[in-house]
DNA sequence: TCAAACTACCTTGCGATACAAGGTACTGAT
DNA sequence: ATCAGTACCTTGTATCGCAAGGTAGTTTGA
C-alpha cells in the first residue's frame, strides 16, 4: 500500500518553497547547505527538486545571489531574499496559518464528533 | 505577482485527500455535497479535481460507494471509507501533525531568531 | 603527473496532481 | 418540448517533486 507514502509526499508540496524562504530569511546560504539544513529538520529534499526551485524564485526576483569563493572546493552561490522575497514570505506565512486553521477546524469538528461521544453538552 | 497565489495553491496539494477522508469519516457523502462542505471550510475545490481523486481512492480500496436515489434530480454516489481507508486516514493524521510540527519548529527557530532579538537568555 | 575522491553546480525525463473547460444524463417546471 | 437544475464524468494543460545523469573546480595520494 504505497498510497500513504504518496500522499505524505504530496503534503510537502508548496511548503518547500515556504521553508526555503524561511531558511534564507535568517541568513544567505547555498544549495548544498540548504539541503543539509532541511534534512536536519526532517524535510528530505534532493538536488533535482531544489535547483529548479531556486532558479524559479530567482527569475521571479524573490531571490538573488552572489558567488563566494570557498576555501575547500568550488565556489558557492549564496542566495538571499530580495525585498519582494520578504513580502512573499510574509504572504506565505499568512497562507500557512490560514491553512492549518482550516484543517484543524475540520478535524476537531469531524473527528471528535464521532470518536469522542462523551461530549454531550448540547 | 502571481507567485503567491501559485504557492498558496501548492500548499493545498495532498491536504485535499486528507480533508476528504476527514469529511467521509463522519458520514457518507456524494461529490457535489463534498464540494459544498469544503467551500464552507474555505477550501475551494472543483469537480475536475474531486472526481479523479475519488476514483483514485476507490481504485485503491480506500473508499466504496452506493448509488442512492434522490427525490430531486439524478441519483447520487454516496462514498464512505473502507477499513483500509480508516487506516489511511489515521496515517495521514500522523503525517499532518509531524509536518506542522516541523514547519512550526523551523519558524520559531528562524523567524524569532531574527525578528525578536530581545530574547537574550543564552 | 595523473587519477580518484570530494564538493558544488545544473539538466532531462517521468509520474502525479490540480484545474479549466467541455460533455452526458436524469428530473421537473414552463 | 424546451429549458434550468443537479449530478455524473473526461480531456488537455501546466506545474511540481524526484530519480538519474552530467559538468567542472579542488584536494589528495600514488
Assigned fold of A3-91:
Arc Repressor Mutant, subunit A (1.10.10)
Please give the pLDDT value at position A13: 83
CB of B10 within 8 Å of a chain A CB? The answer is yes
The class of domain B3-92 in CATH terms is mainly alpha
CA of A69 to C1' of C6 (A): 16
The pTM of the full predicted model, rounded to 2 decimals, is 0.87
C-alpha cell at B12: 493545498
Does the CB of A76 fall within 7 Å of any strand C atom? Answer: yes
Comparing alpha-carbon positions, the chain A residue that sits nearest to B57 is A3
Task: Closest CB to B106: pick one of A41, A95, A113.
Answer: A41
Q: A22: Cβ–Cβ under 8 A, 6 or more apart, which residues?
A: A89, B106, B107, B110, B111
pLDDT mean over A4-20: 88
Of A49-53, B29-33, B63-67, B115-119, minimum mean pLDDT range: B115-119
Contacts 24+ apart (CB under 8 A), A100-104: A100/B100, A102/B41, A102/B42, A102/B43, A103/B15, A103/B18, A103/B19, A103/B96
Domain ranges of chain B: 3-92
Q: Which of B19, B33, B16, B28 is nearest to B63 (CA)?
A: B28
Chain-chain contact of A110 with B22 (C-beta, under 8 angstroms): yes
Task: Give per-residue pLDDT as tens, A30-76.
Answer: 999 999 999 999 999 999 999 999 999 999 999 999 999 988 889 99
Task: Give per-residue pLDDT as tens, A79-121.
Answer: 999 999 999 999 999 999 999 999 999 998 887 655 444 444 4
Amino acid at each position: 500500500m504505497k498510497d500513504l507514502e504518496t500522499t505524505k509526499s504530496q503534503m510537502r508540496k508548496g511548503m518547500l518553497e515556504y521553508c526555503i524562504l524561511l531558511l534564507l530569511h535568517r541568513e544567505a546560504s547555498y544549495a548544498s547547505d540548504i539541503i543539509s539544513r532541511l534534512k536536519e529538520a526532517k524535510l528530505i529534499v534532493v538536488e533535482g527538486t531544489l535547483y529548479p526551485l531556486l532558479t524559479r524564485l530567482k527569475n521571479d526576483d524573490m531571490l538573488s545571489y552572489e558567488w563566494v569563493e570557498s576555501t575547500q572546493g568550488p565556489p558557492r552561490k549564496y542566495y538571499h531574499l530580495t525585498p519582494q522575497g520578504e513580502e512573499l514570505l510574509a504572504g506565505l506565512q499568512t497562507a500557512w496559518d490560514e491553512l492549518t486553521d482550516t484543517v484543524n477546524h475540520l478535524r476537531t469538528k469531524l473527528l471528535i464528533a464521532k470518536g469522542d461521544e462523551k461530549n454531550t453538552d448540547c
